[in-house]
């Protein structure tokens, strides 16, 4: 936390850091058009410095038709006029660096928009020089091109339906693991990799301090693209045969010898062993990855069919990852982002009674584990799911496709991505302090009173608790550098672990339920409280009120 951009390079500055994720469309709108923008972000940098975070990660702001809200990029080296221009970006980087904040941009290199110049060329003719930059295949043998069942294989798109779309212009299909407007790039072609690395260096040269790499474990496919009899193709395109070669090339080609430049991989579907494979520092690939198993808990039949979690289920999964990694590898710690429901609604209790308590307790349970902590905008005030009651309020292609294919609104209310994409609530005015205009997605009626303005003034607010947690991460070396050890508890809903470094020993205890819990603390006198979500008496057994937690230090 002490190091600033411009200091003597200090490797692994990110270990004790907190990264704040900004979804720019929904953060601050500086010009009243209802869409957040880069100048809006600049206006809140002092707030972020007050909160104490080390870095910001900004979701895509590049020119885009917006089919996937900017994760479909049509020009990698510019700013969409919706969000501003390159001058605004340069001003943002300078203003962030002045305040000691690092800037991480979001690079979508698995696919482009179908409106990107590369794809426009590629689709124009089978003989085009860029034809091979994407995955083109003829119809399945014996089928009339463009008719049902003629897709080259049975791979499924993450957003529903086939991963192939037919292009009548040349009579072939192109692969898209996401929307049909997001064709997959062919990383097998070295020209593609060189073009992508050059683009990444372009952002580095503009002053950015690191990259969040979208679905980066999907860039190496088994080149023959085999059909998958018992699945959706995942095993042939996730962590494919050349993934480690590509990641090493990326590190060398983009970060070079700059040990401060951070590479964060978004890696759906990886297990702990694969996570270590990507992030082992000796191998020189990524610095950290995002795991998914904990956010996919309870998905019975896809993400829109999610059951309530059992007591201890989240704790067990978090502990499984921590224990499996041991002192190898590194992950980003998160419970939510722009693709997930709000963490209080998913893992906590978003009723008025327990909302603030569970927001604090979840943060405490997650953010002091071994890894780099991430805070998605709005989590620091305990924002809750929008629960939109009408399809007309939804904006996300994934949810809209799901409904169009017969899915039900309840599933979308529980798991839809719009839940996390509503305007950041700065105050409780009609535009939430986000916009003076009409927001691109509504400020939900439910929870509209939750705001930064209200919480900044209240000492016991969720916001001030986050601030204290961030400060604690920076202050206690055992958090950034210590070992992790799970501590058994009397109740499955209580998650307890220790972080240890040299003489320092911290114990984190969190009651992740709405029932009072008792937990035995041997040697009660030797523990001293560093932080708690609410006053907790020093006694043995410890009595933890519903949704409460404490950080203790052994003296």
Nearer to ligand ISL, 158 or 354 (CB): 158
By CB under 6 A, tell whether 234 contacts ligand ISL. Answer: no
**Torsion sign across C-alpha atoms 209, 215, 217, 218:** negative
Residue 290 is inside which H or E element, if any? strand 288-290
Of residues 405-434, which lie at the interface with ligand ISL (CB under 6 A)? 417
CB nearer to ligand ISL: give 108 or 472: 108
Query: Could you give the 3-state DSSP secondary structure of residue 210?
Result: strand
Active-site annotation holder among 54, 68, 214, 380: 214
Minimum CB separation of residue 237 from ligand ISL in Å reads 13
| Cβ atoms within 10 Å of 368's Cβ, excluding its own | 26
Does residue 172 carry a catalytic annotation?
no
Both tokens of 28, joined, read 């601050």
Interface positions, 280-309, toward ligand ISL (CB under 6 A): 303
Verify binding: residue 398, ligand ISL, rule CB under 6 A: yes
Rank residues 260 and 339 by Cβ distance to ligand ISL and give the closer one.
339
Among 214, 287, 349, 476, binds ligand ISL (CB under 6 A): 214
Among 339, 349, 476, 498, binds ligand ISL (CB under 6 A): 339
**Shortest reach from residue 177's CB to ligand ISL, in Å:** 8
Cα 118 → chain centroid: 27
Answer for which of 5, 210, 265, 268 binds ligand ISL (CB under 6 A) is: 268
Strand partners for 212:
106, 264
Q: First-to-last CA distance in the chain?
A: 24
Smallest distance from ligand ISL to CB 111, Å: 7
What span, in angstroms and rounded, lies between the C-alpha atoms of 275 and 282?
14
In the complex, what is the shortest distance from the CB of residue 424 to ligand ISL, in angstroms, rounded to a whole number? 17
Between 8 and 47, how does the x/- string for binding to ligand ISL read (CB under 6 A)? ----------------------------------------
Footprint (CB under 6 A) of ligand ISL, residues 50-79: 68, 71
Distance from the Cα of residue 205 to its chain's centroid: 24
Backbone angles phi, psi at 399, to 5 degrees: -70, -40
| Least gap, CB of 189 to ligand ISL (angstroms) | 20
| Per-residue burial over 63-93, b = 16 or more CB atoms within 10 Å of its CB, e = otherwise | bbebbbbbbbbbebeebbebbbeeebbeebb
Alpha helix ranges (H) inside 106-145: 117-124
Return d(Cα 291, Cα 334) in angstroms, integer. Answer: 9
Write out the H or E segment, with its range, that includes residue 475. Answer: helix 462-475
Q: What is the C-alpha to C-alpha distance for residues 67 and 59, in angstroms, rounded to an integer? A: 15
401 burial type by CB count under 10 A (0-12 exposed, 13-18 middle, 19+ buried): middle
Which position among 29, 266, 379, 398 bears the catalytic label?
266
CB of 306 to ligand ISL, least distance (A): 11
Q: How far is the CB of 417 from ligand ISL (least distance, A)?
A: 6
Q: Which residue has the tokens 């503009």?
A: 206
State in angstroms the smallest separation of the CB of 436 from ligand ISL: 27
Which residue in 51, 53, 93, 108 binds ligand ISL (CB under 6 A)? Answer: 108
Judged by CB under 6 A, which of 61, 89, 178, 236 binds ligand ISL? 178
Tell me which residue of 205, 289, 283 sits closest to 251, measured CA to CA.
Answer: 283
Nearer to ligand ISL, 103 or 177 (CB): 177
Size of the site for ligand ISL (CB under 6 A): 14
Q: How far apart are CA 350 and CA 353, in angstroms?
A: 8
Strand partners, 21: 57, 376
Residue numbers 135-174 binding ligand ISL by CB under 6 A: 158
| Residue with smaller CB distance to ligand ISL, 1 or 332 | 332
Closest to ligand ISL by CB, 409 or 512? 409
Task: Give ∠ CA 332-334-338 in degrees, rounded to 5.
Answer: 110
Q: Binding to ligand ISL by residue 260, rule CB under 6 A?
A: no
Distance CA 394, CA 425 (A): 18
184: which residues sit within 8 A by CB, 6+ positions away? 110, 111, 134, 135, 174, 175, 176, 177, 218, 221
Residue 266: active-site member? yes
Minimum distance from residue 332 beta carbon to ligand ISL (Å) = 13
Complex with ligand ISL: residue 213 or 509, whichever CB lies closer: 213
Interface residues with ligand ISL (CB under 6 A) are 68, 71, 108, 158, 178, 214-215, 266, 268, 303, 338-339, 398, 417
- Residues designated catalytic: 214, 266
């Amino acid at each position: 936390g002490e190091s600033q951009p411009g200091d003597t390079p200090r490797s692994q500055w990110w270990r004790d850091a907190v990264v704040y994720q900004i979804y720019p469309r929904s953060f601050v709108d500086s010009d009243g058009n209802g869409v957040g923008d880069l100048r809006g972000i600049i206006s809140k940098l002092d707030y972020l410095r007050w909160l104490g975070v080390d870095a910001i990660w900004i979701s895509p702001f590049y020119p885009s038709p917006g089919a996937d809200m900017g994760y479909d990029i049509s020009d990698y080296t510019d700013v969409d006029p919706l969000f501003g221009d390159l001058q605004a970006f340069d001003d943002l980087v300078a203003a962030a660096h002045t305040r000691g904040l690092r800037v991480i941009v979001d690079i979508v290199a698995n696919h482009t928009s179908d409106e990107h110049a590369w794809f426009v060329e590629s689709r124009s003719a089978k003989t085009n020089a860029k034809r091979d930059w994407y995955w083109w295949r003829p119809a399945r043998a014996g089928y009339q091109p463009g008719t049902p069942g003629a897709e080259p294989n049975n791979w499924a798109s993450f957003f529903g339906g086939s991963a192939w779309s037919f292009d009548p212009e040349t009579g072939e299909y192109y692969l898209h693991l996401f929307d049909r407007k997001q064709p997959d790039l062919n990383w097998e072609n070295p020209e593609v990799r060189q073009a992508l690395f050059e683009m990444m260096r372009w952002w580095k040269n503009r002053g950015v301090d690191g990259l969040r790499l979208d679905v980066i474990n999907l860039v190496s496919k088994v080149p023959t693209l085999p059909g998958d009899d018992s699945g959706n193709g995942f095993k042939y395109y996730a962590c494919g045969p050349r993934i480690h070669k590509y990641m090493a090339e990326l590190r060398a080609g983009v970060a070079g010898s700059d040990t401060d430049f951070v590479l964060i991989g978004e890696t759906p579907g990886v297990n702990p062993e694969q996570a270590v494979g990507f992030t082992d520092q000796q191998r020189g690939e990524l610095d950290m990855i995002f795991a998914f198993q904990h956010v996919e808990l309870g998905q019975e039949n896809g993400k829109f069919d999610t059951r309530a979690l059992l007591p201890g289920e989240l704790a067990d999964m978090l502990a499984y990852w921590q224990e499996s990694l041991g002192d190898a590898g590194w992950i980003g710690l998160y419970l939510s982002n722009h693709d997930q429901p709000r963490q209080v609604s998913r893992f906590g209790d978003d009723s008025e009674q327990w909302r603030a308590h569970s927001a604090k307790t979840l943060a405490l349970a997650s953010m002091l584990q071994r890894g780099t902590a991430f805070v998605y905008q709005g989590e620091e005030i305990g924002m809750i799911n929008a629960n939109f009651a009408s399809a007309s309020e939804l904006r996300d292609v994934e949810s809209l496709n799901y409904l169009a294919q017969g899915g039900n609104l309840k599933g979308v209310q529980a798991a839809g991505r719009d839940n996390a994409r509503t305007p950041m609530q700065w105050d409780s005015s009609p535009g939430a302090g986000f916009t003076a205009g009409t927001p691109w997605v509504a400020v939900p009626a439910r929870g509209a009173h939750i705001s930064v303005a209200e919480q900044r003034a209240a000492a016991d607010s969720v916001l001030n608790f986050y601030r204290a947690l961030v400060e604690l991460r920076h202050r206690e070396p055992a958090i950034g550098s210590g070992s992790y050890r799970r501590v058994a508890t009397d109740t499955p809903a209580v998650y307890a672990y220790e972080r240890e470094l040299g003489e320092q020993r911290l114990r984190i205890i969190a009651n992740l339920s709405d029932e009072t819990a008792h937990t035995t603390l041997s040697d009660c006198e030797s523990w001293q409280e560093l932080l708690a979500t609410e006053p907790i008496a020093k006694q043995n057994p410890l009595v933890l009120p519903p949704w409460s937690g404490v950080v203790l230090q052994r003296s």
